[in-house]
Amino acid sequence: MSPIGGPTTRVSNHGCAGADDPTVSNSYSMTRWSGIGAVAQPTDAVPADRHIEGPDRREAAPELPNSRRREAAVLACVLGSTVALSGFAPLNSAADRLSVDDQAFLVVLMPPVIVALVAVACAIRHPGHITLPWKPAWATCAGLLMLGGALSLLSTDDLERSVGLLVFGIVAPLVFTASVMASTLPRTYLAASFVAATALLMLRADIVLLGDYGWPSAEDLFQAKFANAPYDFHYYALGNPNQTAAFLMIPLALAVFWQTDRRQAHGWRRAAIVVVGASIAVSLLFVYSRIEIVGAVLLILAALIVTPTTVRRRTLTGLGVIAVVSMYFLSRSGRNYLGALTVNDSDASQVVRADSVTDGINALADNLITGQGIGEYGVTHGTVPVHSAVLQQAVETGLLGGVAVAGITVLALALVIHVGRAVRWRGLQFAGAAAAAVYCITAAGSLGLFLHNDTTAIWGLALGIALAIATDAMPSRRARWHDARPAEQPR
């Protein structure tokens, strides 16, 4: 049996130079499981031109030259960190600086488009197979989303602005996702650079908040959430607290579940992941979006359940997390929050959310096929965005867009179950699947966007990273022929 519970096939030396060399090991396990691809578990040095015995006759991935491996690692770090940078100041104001709303052709200079083009170049340089399960279903959802966006251009009141949003907000994230999944960039470096860059960028915002309020109380966080002051905490985050909190669920889920597998994260690496994850959790607390805070607590408790450790340590840690949450809800701020849930005033959060859904349904009924147009329903047009990414996308891009987002959400939920069963609900692969599923659930339940807002597409790019991490980096046949080195002849 393989380490993740799937069947294994063995690699042989038949027909290889050096097959009779006793110093060459025959043991090279290739774990195979339906849909995701293959995870290579080498036990000794293996010549690059061996083949796998088994029903699928899949060739083993060759050992790449050191220069190629270093290049792939550097490119993965560049992509991961650039995705994080694209959503924070100053890059998140590129649309305003370039006046994309008035000059749609300048959209090619937007950070999401540049990142997508770099990802395409990486896929060409380091080609691989897309091993995502149910590829036809994913491709159908992506096609429906782009088709809905294209049809929405027929009803928009600002064509150039909507064209720009279609290109950098929908097309670029989809191209980025497909390109990263089709490359052999090391997922470990991709995840590490993305999570670390996000933590550092949020640390900058945290320092601003601490400079303004000291260690903030719940009242200070509530005041900061709605202050909307120039160069404040939320300016250095993603601007909107709810949008920032939903985004932070992706790197938090990556960090929380990555450290659960001590074979992949051990020693100082595991300590670094825990520290970075804790930093992101503190930033999420400062954002003060309470739905996402509750979700973060559930993520941490789930990670405690799947982490291999003693029952006593797991119980004590879980009781500690529950005690901290209980202390909050027993405080004055927590009691006020619980009391506000029963208020029916027009300004109450739950009332605003319910009204936004009702208004969104009415707006969708007016334009079922074309929608209102990309970017034509929201704060900039005097309406409250629908507090559901599925319905908001349907309102803007018609029924096709809404069906596409709903389909992606269902597929993400199926993916986390599929991967979780294969890898025992822990490790980096499961962390990627969990991050994608957690974000899709959060967006569908409380967020007025899915892949982008008016200035950046960091949510779509981050979702693409999570999906790529959930799959394997399997080299393509062309890459295997190009990079394979002939085995050394025995002397």
Stretch 315-333: mean pLDDT: 73
Following CA atoms 60, 66, 71, 73 in sequence, which dihedral angle do they give, to the nearest 10 degrees? 70
Residue 347 lies inside a defined structural domain of this protein: no
Three-state DSSP class for 127? strand
Q: Model confidence at 384, in pLDDT bands (50, 70, 90)? A: confident
Examine the domain organization and report whether 393 and 427 are in the same domain.
yes
Q: What is the pLDDT of residues 224-268, one digit of tens each?
A: 888 877 888 999 999 889 899 999 999 999 999 998 887 776 788
How many domains are contained in the chain? 2
Note the pLDDT tens digit of each residue in 82-113: 999 999 988 988 888 888 877 878 888 999 99
DSSP letter assigned to residue 240: S
Q: Give the neighbor-by-neighbor strand order of the sheet with 28-33.
A: 37-42, 28-33, 8-12, 51-52
Q: What are phi and psi of 51, to 5 degrees?
A: -125, 165
pLDDT at 448 over 70: yes
pLDDT, position 270: 86
Residue 434: per-residue pLDDT = 95
* Same domain assignment for residues 2 and 93: no
Residues 24 and 102 occupy one common structural domain: no
* In-domain check, residue 319: no
Q: Which residues pair with 38 in a beta bridge?
A: 32
Tell whether 46 and 96 lie within a shared domain.
Answer: no
Contact 390, 409 (CB under 8 A): yes
Average pLDDT, the chain: 80
Whether residues 25 and 90 fall in one domain: no
Shared domain check, 103 and 44: no
Q: Is the model more confident about 22 or about 224?
A: 224
Predicted local distance difference test score (pLDDT) of residue 255: 94
35-49, 196-210, 356-370, 435-449: the lowest-pLDDT one? 35-49
Number of alpha helices (DSSP H) and beta strands (DSSP E) in the chain: 19, 6
- Would you say residue 20 has pLDDT above 50? no
Containing structural domain, residue 31: 1-51
pLDDT for the residue numbered 43 = 40
Position 44 scores a pLDDT of: 40
In terms of domains, do 25 and 140 share one? no
Of 31 and 340, the one with more pLDDT:
340
Residue 291 lies in a domain: yes
Residue 234 and residue 161 in one domain: yes
- pLDDT per residue as tens digits for the range 39-73: 444 444 444 443 333 334 444 445 556 788 899 99
Instruction: Give the number of other CB atoms < 10 A from CB of residue 282.
Output: 14
Whole-number Å distance between alpha carbons of 482 and 491: 26
Instruction: Give me the percent of the chain exceeding a pLDDT of 70.
Output: 77
Residue 134 and residue 131: Cα distance in Å, rounded?
9
Model confidence at 343, pLDDT cuts 50, 70, 90, reads low
**Is residue 184 within 8 Å of residue 477, measured between CB atoms?**
no
pLDDT exceeds cutoff 70 at 17:
no
Strands 37-42 and 128-129, by their bridges, are unpaired
* Per-residue pLDDT band at 208 (split at 50, 70, 90): very high
Say yes or no to pLDDT of 202 above 50: yes
Match 């990670």 to its residue by tokens: 303
Has residue 417 been placed in a domain?
yes
Give the tokens for residue 448: 């007025």
Are residues 25 and 155 located together in one domain of the fold? no
The mean-pLDDT minimum among 355-359, 434-438, 472-476 falls in 472-476
Residue 62 lies in a domain: no
pLDDT above 90 (res 185) = yes
Residues 39 and 79 in one domain: no
How far is C-alpha 380 from the geometric centre of its chain's CA atoms? 27
Query: Is position 389 within any domain?
Result: yes
pLDDT band at 29 (very low <50, low <70, confident <90, very high): very low
Inside any domain, residue 299 = yes
Between 4 and 372, the more confident residue is: 372
- The answer to whether residue 60 sits within a structural domain is no
pLDDT for 317 equals 75
Give the residue, 386 or 84, on which the prediction is more confident: 84
The pLDDT of residue 479: 52
Look up residue 4 and give its two tokens: 């993740």
Same domain flag for 37 and 105 = no
The pLDDT value given to residue 473: 66
* Arithmetic mean of pLDDT, 444-464: 90
Is it the case that residue 198 has pLDDT exceeding 90? yes
pLDDT for residue 83: 96
| Environment class of 291 (CB within 10 Å of its CB; exposed 0-12, middle 13-18, buried 19+) | middle
Same domain, 12 and 142: no
The candidate with the shortest Cα–Cα distance to 165, out of 101, 252, 244, 93, is: 101
